[in-house]
Structure 1
Amino acid sequence: MGCYEDAWRFFVDVKNKGCKPNVYTYTALISGLCVSGIFKVAIGLFHRMARDGVLPNTVTYNALINILVENRRIEYASVVFNLMDRNACSPNTVTFNEMIKGYCITGDVEKAMLMLNNMLQAGHSANHVTYNTIIKGYCDSANTASALRILEHMRSNGCEPDEWSYTELICGFCNISKMELAFGLFNEMVHRGLCPNEVTYTALIDGYCKDEKLDAATAMLEHMKRSGCRPNVQTYNVLIHGLTKQNNFSGAEELCKVMIEEEILPNVVTYTAMIDGLCKNGSTSLALEMFNKMIDQGCLPNLLTYSSLIHALGQEGKVEEAENLFAKLERQGLVPDEIAYNKMIEVYIMSGKVEHAFDFLGKMIKAGCQPTMWTYGVLIKGLKNEYLLADQKLAALPDVVPNCSFDYQTADQDAVSVLSAKLAELDPGLSVQLHNALATSLSTSGRWFEANDLLGSMISQGLCPDQEAYNSVLCSLLRARNLDLAMGVFEHMSAQGCEVHLVGYKELICALCQLHRRKEAHITFENMLRRTWNPDDVLQTVLIDGLLRAGHKDLCMEFLHIMETNNNNQQKGRNNPWMLSYTCANDCPQSMISFKPITMRRASKSWVQASSGIMPADANTQTGALHGVGANHLL
């Protein structure tokens, strides 16, 4: 931090003396600010450059894109990336790699693939960082098939996979419990002369533990030691967690002793895994002993440690002890998160103290911690139990009409009404949040009738559904092919100025086509294009993921020509054609998608050839194009 302050003082001093800083001065200072985490000042200085008439260079842009990516602000990074072209500054391999990383860490591997192809088309060569980032992106989204194809592609392009290429793939297969494939890659990796590292071994051990194959996990740990790769605390932690899940606490304690013998000190994760396992096994007293032991060893508990114990005490009806433990975590200086608050609320609900739960909810809100769907679910459960308990007492009275009892649905509705009223007392906005969350949750779980009913109830009460609730209900109705109700929601959204998401348009257009209402589908598609959409997103979401996947190839062609005509009208007199990034080479769902920046007209031609079963002449000869590797290539 001191270095940054000295550099800033020097910069100000230079300007005050009438010297004009050049692009290298600005870039050095912006880079330093980025490294120091002074993001806002770095961005401000970037804008100051333009006002001072100094054009940023590639290094300047890269520094700014890097901080935006690290802060998961890929939409702003994309704006900065596009500014480079406008200012005649060419991106380099580092720039493309940063953008690819940004799309991958935000879960948008589709756009990362587009960026890779733009990179290749611009004449840059993808390196290990490029390929490994995309492999990780696919693995994080559980699309290991596409990750494998990237591995083969990098090899065919002369970039031999390294230990991280294999490690990312092994992690991906372990995460989806495909241990045979993960172990096969491990063997291939060793056969090719690559040395697995501690991350590789830890992923395999963790995978075996999750698969409840503790013998295999233990054998892998021994193999790791024999190969000369020293286990770290994370390696032991995953195995300890696996042992505690199977109630093998003696084995977990023995492993802790081995750690200490190897001069690897157990950390908060180690102890928390032990405590959580004991709590779930009903051994709360032993968990408390472990809790005190970790403190004696100088290892401070974290929020997860406290949350596990609080919940366990609640299950045993020890409300006062749970309250004391919550107070202790605050005295330790920890700031309770929604999990800790929810666990304490759940303690009160389990003990039948619903009013105490609502008092604690008030404390949670005052602390600036927003309730989640989990919070609402616990409170609804508590209220519902109160109704059912009251009903049981009523049924036990003499001369009671037999059919007067509540059913679960009635109890749910009454509980939601009471919860809504109580939330409104705490914060009027929370009542709306509750209804929005419930509508979204019901829609996601396919309960479209209840979701639509709740949406109507909100509107009649003067509550404003948010975009997420509207779009969730709309998509749920369309997937159920309840078009009349869906059109009602769609029209109400339009009247309220609520934006329909692109996925909503996809579902609506597909539903209209399936019901042979093509004229309405055309009108809806044309109305959709009047809004500002990224043409790549329209092509991928509506045409490829929607119509083509549903088998409406002829409509894909019609709609693609509508897009081309619409674009030509918008771009008339300008040499700035829409750049699309997909050429379909086969039918979905086994479509082989190759990604290339191409003009709309060229895309149309390729689609016609694909529809006729003819591969475009340059499909296998285009330098740098990726064939058979794509975001739309299914498992």
Structure 2
Amino acid sequence: MRISTVAIIPRVPFSLLNLSITTISSASPLQIPTVDPPDPIPAVDLPSKLLEILTRPNWQRDPSLRDLSRSITTVHVSAVLNHPPLDPRLALSFFDWTGSLPGFRHDHGSHSALLGLLVRHRLFAAARRIRISMFRSCASPEEARRALATVRSTTSLDLTVRCYNMLLMALARLGLLVEMREVYGELLASGSAPDVYTYNTMVNGFAKAGSLAEAKMYYGCIASAGLSPDVHTYTSLVLGHCRVHDVDGARKIFDSMPCRRNEVTYTVLIHGLCEADRIDEAFELYSRMGDEQCRPTVRTYTVLIQALFDARRMTDAVVLFKEMRKEGCIPNVHTYTVIIDGFCKERRLDEAKRVFGEMLERGVVANEVAYNALIDGYCKEGMIESAVAVMSSMELNGFKANERTFNEFICGLCKEKKVHKAMGLLDRMLERGLVPNLVTYNSLIHGQCREGYVDVAFRLLRLMTEKGVKGDQWTYSMLIDALCKKGRMEEARGLFNSLEEKGIEVNEVIYVVMIDGECKAGEIEAAHSLFQRMVHENCSPNDYVYNALIDGLCKEGKLDDGLSLLDEMVERGVKPDPVTYSVLIDAMLRGGEFENAWRILQQMIDTRCEPDVCTYTLFIRAFCSEGRLEKVESLLAVMEKKGVVSDLVTYMTLIEGYVNAGFICHAFRILKLMMDSGCEPDMCTYSVLVGHFAHERRRNFEMSDLMGDMDMEGKKGFVDLWKIVEIEDVLKLLSEMVKYGCDPNIKTFSALIGGLCKEGRLEEARLVYREMEERQLLPDENIYTLLINCCCQSRIPREALIMMNKMIDCGYQPHMESYKLLICGFCEDGDVIKAKLVFHSLLNCGYNNDEIAWKILIDGLLKSGHVNQCSELLVLMEGKNCQPSPQTYDTLIKEFVDRSNGV
């Protein structure tokens, strides 16, 4: 097997699965290694060649057979075994030899071919062995059904009870209960008497599937047949009770067993207790294993370690893992995977990576699940490059990326607001023969909604529906939420009201987003009606619902109604959370009701609801606005004592408070603390500071004239701030940052350039860019994107193109939005040739063809009135074999007709 070389080019943030970035000027992509198929044997009929080799003496040692071995598949083996003159003993030897090849597994076809040959030559002993091997090899329900059909058709080969038992075990392993009943009935009809292994298999199969009543029926048959249940029987019954979440019933059987329990019995009940969140009882049982001379197995330890990680008791999990090895129980790949996944979920990726490395060093071969756990951890943290590196290792070691792997990358990219790259993976999935599922589409819809592309999200919904993937409650909650956030309330209401006919049950999440949307739109009565409907439909309102309503009432100045709703919430048994109290405290503080706010804070603490960083920040903001900085310092001390870590809004509030009080040195001290803690200042934070220097320069402006109030999320009401900031204000900020030990980094320049580009001040943004270059800092993807988009919005597409070329030369992939603005910009200037060149380069980026059609052709050119240019670029897409889906063609045709008719 040949494996291609891994080429990792520095500074290329992402190019997954050979997703190339060959655009206007060439940028070297990050290449993912691909596993090449075995080299074909040219001009040779492989089965014929194998048959020829089998005629030679000592054929197993034939050198040419060794060369052919890595190309042999079960299809070739079946063809050889079905060759009429083949000696059956030679066929059996060949079957055993191929079965010993690394990575080779006989399937039903090869088993069936050999079985037929052996039966025809009446070699029944060998035939029985192959028949049992066929049962054991079944890896899917379909294979098991084929094996069953073969057995039924081979009437000349009698079925012993042992053979029935092996067949029943294969069916039980794959959960084929209907077939188990049929085979059991055939066993009885044959006149053979089931033995205890038969009954145990039936009990276990049905218990494992949660069919406890039927499992107990077969258990009753044991005594009726004059047989005695054994430890396996009782262990299966314990498992059955656990599967139906009756852990007490499982414990009762466990305690009353008339025979000695074994390690499996203990482990099954321990697992059941852990799944019921009764971990302490599970450990009590674990501690008793030695009383019956049972030693915990690797499975026992793995179950307990998993439970400890799920309960976020990481320290205990690590201690148990060490104890496991100390006791001489060697962890397997499942144990390591549980630990890796546990660390990843707790965002302790360095430890997850260390455990993964330790696993490999100890000779434990990683499987797909282990690789995917680490990939998922990196993707969830936005560390896409690290995830790509793990995937490279995964594929180099013979494991192919599956649907889960792709879904993890898509989810990670969407979380990083790179939905344009995530969309490109849809095509890569299809190229690999993988089928996007509901998780795939939901991640993409969430990504599009999060970045504001609501219409694209609905096009995705249509695409997935027509591909046979039905949306669920999560799908529609995201779409309704996105419509509400865009202020498209009529559409949100229409979609909400259509859910019943779509077969979607409205759950708490959908009610929350709809109620929150109505509240934010000022429609409190409509929100209250939804609340009443929710209660009427026996859908219990949760804290999120109450929080949305209380927030809406407070925003409308109806604080008393909000407090009444808090009382109702408590009466209904719904516990208020920090958000509930923070909403009320915010309303009180804004109204100057400090005493009432303190009273609510005390009530919060009395009910054991610990104030969070948002709650403390509200008080800090209120004290800052009154200039009571000594109170602010006291609160910061309380936060530190309680282990509450300041966040972006806290730091920004403090900086603004010190700036407004005239303590600029204190403001920069907070900025340094902020940067040192790893909390990156954003554009709003720098706006406060640069606004101070603008205020100093223009003393006729008050700071409050430059900025609006800050809300709970820390968003600023910019009132022409970036319109009046001059380049000397920005340079002054940068020099003061250096003076106070807050060295400006690339994120600093990104925030400053972003503020200027927001107001279309391209010339000033250029000057800041040059200042960045003079400081030997290289622009990042965001800076390039800001400048490209600003150039386009300033009607200077040629300069935007130059900047895009620089971006690509540095290894960054331009965003779809940038391409849209640039192509539309050239069309506006009448330069269709350049528009086509840019579009041509876009088609080489690995973007999803449907998204290109949606965002460039429909939302870009058609909405701008460039119908003819849109038609030309569609032809260009087709010429490059980048056709959109039939669903997108339908949308394009409708849009073409509408635009042509002036709609």
Q: TM-score, normalised by structure 2?
A: 0.52
> Mean alpha-carbon deviation: is it higher for 207-216 or for 60-69?
60-69
After TM superposition, the structure 1 = structure 2 runs for residues 359-398 of structure 1, keeping only pairs within 5 Å, are: 361=671, 371-386=681-696
Tell me which residue corresponds to 1:213.
523
Task: Tell me the residue number matched to 1:226.
Answer: 536
- The answer (yes or no) to whether the contact 2:820–2:860 under 8 Å persists in 1 is no
Tell me which residue corresponds to 1:261: 571
Deviation for aligned residue 1:122: 3.1
In the alignment, does 2:636 pair up with 1:326? yes
Task: Answer yes or no: is 1:34 the counterpart of 2:341.
Answer: yes
What amino acid maps onto 1:34 in structure 2? D
Matched, 1:128 2:408: no
**Among residues 508, 515, 521, which one is paired with 1:198 in the alignment?**
508
1:63 matches 2:331:
no
Count of residue correspondences: 544
Match of 1:589 among 857, 869, 875: 857
Matched ranges for 1:560-579 at <5 A: none
State the identity %: 27
Task: Give the corresponding residue for 2:422.
Answer: 112
| 2:499 alignment partner, one of 162, 182, 189 | 189
AA partner of residue 436 (structure 2)? A
Q: Say which is worse superposed, 311-320 or 462-471, in terms of deviation.
A: 462-471
Question: What is the CA–CA distance in structure 2 between the aligned matches of 1:213 and 1:147, rounded to whole Å?
Answer: 26
Whether contact under 8 Å (2:340, 2:353) holds in the other structure is: no
C-alpha distance 150-360 of structure 1, shift in aligned 2 (>3 A)? closer
Which runs of structure 2 are paired with 1:392-541 in the superposition (5 Å)? Answer: 416=730, 419-427=733-741, 429-430=743-744, 437-455=751-769, 463-468=775-780, 471=784, 472-473=786-787, 476-477=790-791, 479-480=793-794, 506=801, 508=803, 537=813
| Residue 322 (structure 1) shift | 3.5
Closer, same or farther in 2 for the Cα pair 1:545/1:8, shift >3 Å? farther
User: Contact 2:484–2:517 at 8 Å: present in 1 too?
Assistant: yes
C-alpha separation between the residues in 2 aligned to 1:421 and 1:580? 42
Distance across 1 between alignment mates of 2:608 and 2:550: 20
Q: Does 1:172 align with 2:172?
A: no
Residue 189 of structure 1: SS of its match in structure 2?
coil
Counterpart contact for 1:436–1:465, Cα < 8 Å: no
Give 1:356 shift.
Answer: 4.9
Q: For 1:158 and 1:391, how far apart are their aligned partners in 2?
A: 61
Q: Counterparts in 2 of 1:4-15, with a 5 A limit?
A: 5-7=319-321, 10=324
Post-superposition shift, 1:375? 3.8
Cα shift readout 1:90-136 (whole Å, capped 9, x = no counterpart): 33332232232222222222333332333334333333323322222
CA contact (8 A) 1:303 1:336 kept: yes
Cα distance between partner residues in 1 of 2:807 and 2:578: 52
For the Cα contact (< 8 Å) 2:333–2:365, is it kept in 1? Answer: no
Check if 1:152 corresponds to 2:152: no
CA separation in 1, counterparts of 2:342 and 2:683? Answer: 37
Question: Which has the higher mean CA deviation after the structures are superposed, 607-616 or 28-37?
Answer: 607-616
Q: Distance in 1 between matches of 2:565 and 2:478?
A: 27
Higher Cα Rg, which structure: 2
Cα 1:618–1:482 change in 2 (3 A) is: closer
**Aligned-residue CA RMSD (Å):** 4.6
Distance 1:444 1:325 in 2: 35
Is the 8 Å Cα contact of residues 131 and 150 (structure 1) preserved in structure 2? yes
Contact 1:609 1:616 in 2 (8 A): no
Q: Give, as a single letter, the amino acid of the residue that structure 2 aligns with 1:212.
A: G
CA contact (8 A) 1:132 1:165 kept: yes
With over 3 angstroms needed to count, the CA separation of the structure-2 counterparts of 1:40 and 1:439, relative to structure 1, is closer
8 Å contact from structure 2 (residues 337, 373) kept in 1: yes
1:260–1:437 Cα change, 3 Å? closer
Instruction: Specify whether residues 391 and 111 from structure 1 end up closer, same or farther in structure 2 by C-alpha distance, changes over 3 A only.
Output: closer
- Which amino acid letter does the alignment assign opposite residue 467 of structure 1? P
**Residues 365 and 79 (structure 1 numbering): CA distance in 2 closer, same or farther, change over 3 Å?**
closer
Distance apart, 1:304 and its partner CA: 1.7
CA distance in 2 between counterparts of 1:142 and 1:32 reads: 37
> Structure 1 residues 192, 310: closer, same or farther in 2, change over 3 A?
same
Q: Which amino acid is 1:30 matched to?
A: T
What's the TM-score, normalizing by structure 1?
A: 0.71
Structure 1 Cα separation of the partners of residues 877 and 471 of structure 2: 34
Deviations 1:425-456 (A, max 9, x none): 22162499766643442234311222334455
Deviation sequence 1:334-356 (CA, Å, 0-9, x none)? 23334223323323333344455
Q: Whole-Å Cα distance in 2 between the matches of residues 364 and 528 of structure 1?
A: 30
Maintained 8 Å contact 1:69/1:101: yes
Deviations for 1:565-618, whole angstroms, at most 9, x for unmatched residues? Answer: xx9xxxxxxxxxx9775387799431899xxxxxxxxxxxxx999428979999
- Counterparts of 1:45 and 1:478, CA distance in 2: 48
When residues 99 and 294 of structure 1 are mapped into structure 2, their CA distance, relative to the original with a 3 A threshold, is: same
Instruction: Tell me the SS of whatever aligns to 2:369.
Output: helix
Residues 359-390 of structure 1, C-alpha deviation per residue, up to 9 Å, x if partnerless? 55566567665654434433344455455559
* Partner in structure 2 of residue 98 of structure 1: 408
Name the structure 2 match of 1:611.
875
Change (3 A) 1:479 1:390: closer
Is the contact between residue 675 and residue 742 of structure 2 (CA under 8 Å) also seen in structure 1? Answer: no
Query: Is the CA contact 2:554–2:562 (under 8 Å) kept in the aligned structure 1?
Result: yes
For structure 1, the residue ranges without an aligned partner over 5 or more in a row are 393-407, 487-503, 510-523, 568-577, 594-606
Structure 1 residue 264 displacement after superposition:
1.2
TM superposition shift of 1:270: 0.8
Note the C-alpha offset of 1:244.
0.8
Q: How big is each residue's C-alpha offset from its partner over 1:147-168, in whole Å with a ceiling of 9 and x where there is no partner?
A: 2223223332233333222222
Structure 2 partner of 1:273: 583
- Displacement of 1:303 in angstroms is 2.0
Query: Does structure 2 retain, via aligned residues, the 8 Å contact 1:478–1:507?
Result: no
Structure-2 residue corresponding to 1:163: 473
Please state how far the C-alpha of 1:233 moved relative to its aligned partner.
0.7
Distance 2:736 2:814 in 1: 43
Letter aligned with residue 858 of structure 2: Q
Moved more, 548-557 or 143-152: 548-557
Would the alpha carbon gap of residues 252 and 380 (structure 1) be closer, same or farther in structure 2, given more than 3 Å must change?
same
Residue segments in structure 2 that go unaligned for 5+ positions in a row: 1-313, 703-721, 862-870, 897-903
Measured in 2, the distance between the counterparts of 1:313 and 1:232 equals: 32
**Structure 1 CA distance for aligned equivalents of residues 487 and 880 of structure 2:** 39
TM-aligned CA deviation for residue 307 of structure 1: 1.9
1:348 paired with 2:625, answer no
Indicate how the Cα distance of structure 1 residues 415 and 59 shifts in structure 2: closer, same or farther if over 3 A, else same. Answer: closer
Change (3 A) 1:215 1:321: same
- Cα distance in 2 for residues equivalent to 1:391 and 1:585: 48
Displacement, 1:238?
Answer: 1.1
Does the 8 Å contact 2:605/2:611 carry over to 1?
yes
Q: Residue 310 in 1 paired to residue 634 in 2?
A: no
